[in-house]
Structure 1
Amino acid sequence: MILEILVFLVFISLLFYTVTYPYNFKLNRKLKRVLNFSQVEKIIDTKSKYLDFSHKELSDEFTIEEKYLETKYATEKMRVLIVKPKGVLETPLCLVLLHGIRDKAEDWIYKAKLRENYLSLKKRGKVKDIIFILPDSGYNGESWYTNFYNDKSHQYEEFFSKDLTSFIEQEYPNSKKGIGGFSMGGYGALKIGLKNLESYDVIASFSGAISLIRMSINRRVMRIFRYLYVPKFLFNDVNKAHFMKVFSPWGYKILKNDPYSIIKKTNPERYKGKKFYLSVGSEDKKPYLMFQQWLDVVGRAKKYGLDFKGKIYENEYHTWEYISKDIYNFLVFFTEETKRRK
């Protein structure tokens, strides 16, 4: 009898999954609706806007400092790069940038062309002084900026929410702060930002895994499995074992770490005075459905009254090259929005 019930539940779940699968016609319908939002902009010309600088010019304009922060929340010292423009005269802005899975902090410098973008904007008078805080995620680039399920020795969300924030506030008191990230880093930035709204003025995701339940399984199926063990075969990600090690195989625990779900559960009053930036490439659809995740979260941000700017870049994919174009626009956005929040 019990076996028959279990078989029936699995059958119903699979049927529900098939019926609610995000087919292209559903995706196009949702995209059309989102493009009508006043907060959303479609970028057709996606060429790079930064100028070329020699290695000497960049070295003359910036210092790069490497630090290792001790923490009780992990078994490793946490590595952080600090990129600082030379000749900072006033209280600078501080921007934390989180990298993607199996990437590293240096990728913001050499792949995202952070210095070139910033210096180009500085010469054009479009940005203020910004100190860039570039941490490694920990766990060989696979921490997901998250407290591992049932593992007290790998509590990475605690480090980023507490230790790193305290370090920045001690080093740069009175600075307005932002946090953003690419891919896994976009997930980490949005989740940490949403859970610590008092710590950041601007929160950004660049092609981030921000609707976590869609990346793992169909989000409507998750409603069935909310209080159940989620079978491994329902996960899309090739890194199934690691995903379940970090987040657990239990539906309600995954939902607790899902930015899409956190937006709904947060008191809307806490969003006042905070600005969000959500971007994605139009072709960033497989294998992790980042475009679909962006659609989910932009729709929910609109519904729950977040003050946000959404950007969709035509013909861009899940690459650092795309980020090297988007970061130019974000640095302008970050400067302008922090000016408004005095």
Structure 2
Amino acid sequence: MAFLQANIFSNVLQMEVMINVILPQKTEKAYGTNQVGQTEDLPVMYLLHGMHGNHSVWQRRTSIERYVADKGLAVIMPSTDLGWYTDTTFGMNYWTFVSEELPRICHELFPQLTKKREKTFAVGLSMGGYGALKLGMRCPESFGAIASLSGALALADMLEPFEELPNPAYWTGIFGDVQQFKGSENDPIHLIEEVNSAHAPRIFVCVGTGDPLYPASQYAVQKMRAKGLEVTYEEGPGAHNWEFWDHWIQRVLTWLEE
């Protein structure tokens, strides 16, 4: 198993961006892990961070490298700042970066990565769960499965009391007029309702019963089921924290193999 830290230049963002990458590697005498190595057509998981995180946070807060060691799975962990995987009103196009440019760069740098939809996945926590759902609903031709851990999946409801939000200028900078958010291309519930269910990816949603975003995940899953999407919903004890996410990313990895 190889762990790489890369500085890449984004033409979309016009700046250097950090990504962490886990790649299967053929090894011998790697005590403590069952190493699986491939040289072509590697399944790939884009693993997205939440607010206050970056490209390094999954590596530092979980044992993700150990969890994927025997799965023959490449993991791409990009940094997207606090941009909500969105082309922001202040000109930083994080959505275009993560949905178009990042996969193109990764395939250029790591040609062993698959280009097959059924072996390409998007997974994220909190803000990253929103980003993973957005990738799956807006780019269903690119992703065979997506997973949200404690995702902000009912964001329109969160933005309704706009005047009460901390730092409302921040949210306006990301999404523009929040009164126009519901029903937009950034509204996850709207995206669920608009996706072609025949071409949508498989979906996994999990959330802790003590998480403030617990109702949001339940509400989004109701919409998914009403739309006829293939969704697996699971919940368990836990809050909005790394103890929960470290445990449940293991379940997500098992689900991806099912």
TM-score w.r.t. length of structure 2: 0.87
The CA deviation string for residues 87-124 of structure 1, in whole angstroms up to 9 with x for no partner, is 113632100100011212222112122123234xx3xx
CA distance in 2, matches of 1:169, 1:265: 29
Show the 5 A alignment for 1:114-129. 114-119=64-69, 122=70, 128-129=71-72
CA distance in 1, matches of 2:65, 2:11: 32
Q: Given the alignment of the two structures, is residue 133 of structure 1 paired with residue 72 of structure 2, yes or no? A: no
- Name 1:32's counterpart in structure 2: none
Specify every segment of 5 or more residues in structure 2 that has no aligned partner in the other structure, as ranges: 27-36
- Name 1:242's counterpart in structure 2: 170
- Name 2:121's counterpart in structure 1: 178
CA distance in 1, matches of 2:207, 2:183: 22
Contact 1:206 1:280 in 2 (8 A): yes
Contact 1:165 1:199 in 2 (8 A): no
What is the root-mean-square deviation of aligned Cα atoms in Å? 1.8
Where is the helix percentage greater, Structure 1 or Structure 2? 1
CA distance in 2, matches of 1:239, 1:303: 35
Equivalent residue for 1:148, pick from 79, 88, 92: 88
TM-score w.r.t. length of structure 1: 0.67
**Which of structures 1 and 2 has the bigger CA Rg?**
1
Contact 1:180 1:203 in 2 (8 A): yes
Q: Given the alignment of the two structures, is residue 161 of structure 1 paired with residue 99 of structure 2, yes or no? A: yes
State the identity as a percent: 24
Q: CA deviation at 1:254?
A: 4.9
Structure 2 counterpart of 1:322, which letter?
F
Equivalent residue for 1:321, pick from 224, 227, 243: 243
Specify every segment of 5 or more residues in structure 1 that has no aligned partner in the other structure, as ranges: 1-61, 123-127, 219-231, 337-342
CA distance in 1, matches of 2:42, 2:196: 30
- Name 2:225's counterpart in structure 1: 302
Equivalent residue for 1:194, pick from 123, 137, 157: 137
Q: CA deviation at 1:166?
A: 1.6
Q: Given the alignment of the two structures, is residue 265 of structure 1 paired with residue 194 of structure 2, yes or no? A: yes
The CA deviation string for residues 62-92 of structure 1, in whole angstroms up to 9 with x for no partner, is 3221223322321322211111232113632
Structure 1 counterpart of 2:49, which letter?
H
Structure 2 counterpart of 1:196, which letter?
C
- Name 1:330's counterpart in structure 2: 252
Structure 1 segments, 4+ long, off by >3 Å, are none
3-state SS in 1 of match to 2:15? coil
- Name 1:284's counterpart in structure 2: 211
CA distance in 1, matches of 2:210, 2:104: 38
CA distance in 2, matches of 1:254, 1:243: 14
3-state SS in 2 of match to 1:269? coil
How many residues of Structure 1 are paired with residues of Structure 2 in the alignment?
Answer: 241
- Name 1:212's counterpart in structure 2: 155
Contact 1:204 1:278 in 2 (8 A): yes
- Name 1:79's counterpart in structure 2: 18
Q: CA deviation at 1:333?
A: 0.7
Structure 2 counterpart of 1:191, which letter?
K
- Name 1:11's counterpart in structure 2: none
Larger RCO: Structure 1 or Structure 2 (Cα < 8 Å, ≥ 6 residues apart)?
A: 1
CA distance in 1, matches of 2:11, 2:224: 34
